[in-house]
Amino acid sequence: TFRSGCGIVVGTMTERRQIDLLAHETHSGPDAFETYRYLREEAPVYYDEANALWAVSRYEDVCHVARHPELFTSTEGNLPHMPADASMINQDGRQHTLQRGLVSKGFTPRRMRELADHIRLVTNELIDDLGTRTECEAVSELAARLPLRVIGEMLGLPHADHEHILHLTDIMVAGGSGPDYVTEEVDDAFTEFIDYHEREMALRREARTDDLLSLWLDAEIDGEKLEEDQMIFEHLLLFVGGSESTRSAISGGLLELMRHPEQRQYLIENRHDEAIMQNAVDEIIRWVTPFIRMCRTIVEPVELHGVTLTPDEKIMMIYPAACRDPRVYDRPDEFDVKRVHPKHHVAFGYGQHFCLGANLARLEVRIFFEELLGRMPDFALPKGQRPERLPSSFMRSLRRLPMVFSAPGPRRGA
């Protein structure tokens, strides 16, 4: 095995491409999926010397790393070369189970069933807000607002605060690309978020409300109340996970249905068939893969594809690459809402850290498209305009998606 800044070569030394695993262009640029193909086929265990970072990109390798916390731990942080915070995503084993258990009370199957009608109501209100207009910016006016409202209400945050907190978390997510992206603006946004969290918690200490923030105030782990920093980072994790990922899936799904009118027509005709719609949602999420990567820290020497990985080094799991692995998916680079998924995609992660809000995200995306396809089915990109992608090595998302359509029709049953 040969290690160089050009990656890992198993067997013979051949010239390899240099890939900056933390650069926005690597993951958000036009050649991102060609880079992922190269990594999967030519360098399945890649070493980025400049960033001192390993990466795996094949489906089974991503699952292997996620499946074995005794070899690849989350406790040293899930972002590259950035310290771990106190949230459940940076815990393993029993501590992770206990912290996740506190949050999961808001995400039970019963709670999801209760939320379905409300999600449908909010979706229709957003469509109503378009009035008689025939164009909009779909990310800010539709895709962002549905999950923002839902997770904001679950946390008990006043509606008037939702947009501002989303603005703060958008800034902080930019810092998730790596240490070089943690600017003064990111630090200021984090400070403001902490101040906001503490004000909201002070209100709940005076009088409890029916939301997750109040639940955490009364929660105990091994007889001990949660520390303030645990509550801050769980709050941030849920807000980002609950708003950013679903926004990405909805906006990415809109774009692909604009590009594939025959698939859109199939869904219009079958929008009342929950199984067909749910399958389409899984394809949208596989295709978009909102979170690009998470990192683990290597615990002990471990061999992967003939490469020996050294303890204390970081390893990155690249989810969009795994979600297009031809070893798992037939025609992986084709968007197909009729696709039969042979294995579940890893867009929500895998193993003990599988996304707690996955079922909520699926529910939001499904209901959004059921209602949209019924009320404004002819949405399209305006001629001469293009979507704008968010530059990031952490989130795969659209920043802007201009959209034209016929004025929305009435609500179902109206």
Helices (H), 207-339: 212-218, 228-259, 261-269, 274-288, 319-322
pLDDT confidence tier of residue 16, bands split at 50, 70 and 90:
confident
Within-domain flag for 309: yes
- 8 A C-beta contact, residue 67 and residue 350: yes
pLDDT at position 342: 64
Within-domain flag for 178: yes
Cα(220)–Cα(226) distance, integer angstroms: 6
Token code pair at residue 209: 């409300």
Within-domain flag for 413: no
Within-domain flag for 202: yes
Within-domain flag for 411: no
Domain count, the chain: 1
Within-domain flag for 7: yes
Cα(171)–Cα(159) distance, integer angstroms: 20
Give, in degrees to the nearest 5, the angle at Cα 171 between 104 and 186: 105
- 8 A C-beta contact, residue 366 and residue 345: no
| Enclosing H/E stretch for 9 | strand 7-9
Tell me the β-bridge partners of 146: none
Residue in the structure block whose two tokens are 């946004």: 189
pLDDT at position 312: 96
Within-domain flag for 221: yes
By residue count, the chain amounts to 414
Burial of 51 (0-12, 13-18, 19+ CB in 10 A): buried
**Residue 236 is part of a domain; what is its CATH number?**
1.10.630.10
Q: What does the mean pLDDT of the chain come to?
A: 91
Cα(369)–Cα(254) distance, integer angstroms: 9
Counting Cα atoms < 13 Å in the Cβ hemisphere of 84 gives 19
pLDDT at position 414: 61
**DSSP for 346-391?**
STT--GGGS-TTHHHHHHHHHHHHHHHHHH-TT-BPPTT---EE--
Question: Which of 207-216, 293-302, 379-388 shows the lowest per-residue confidence on average (mean pLDDT)?
Answer: 207-216
**Model confidence over 198-218: pLDDT tens digits?**
999 999 999 999 999 998 888
Choose among 236, 249, 131: nearest CA to 194. 236
Strands 53-56 and 2-4: unpaired
Within-domain flag for 242: yes
For 209, the domain range is 2-404
**Model confidence over 136-191: pLDDT tens digits?**
999 999 999 999 999 999 999 999 999 999 999 888 888 877 788 888 999 999 99
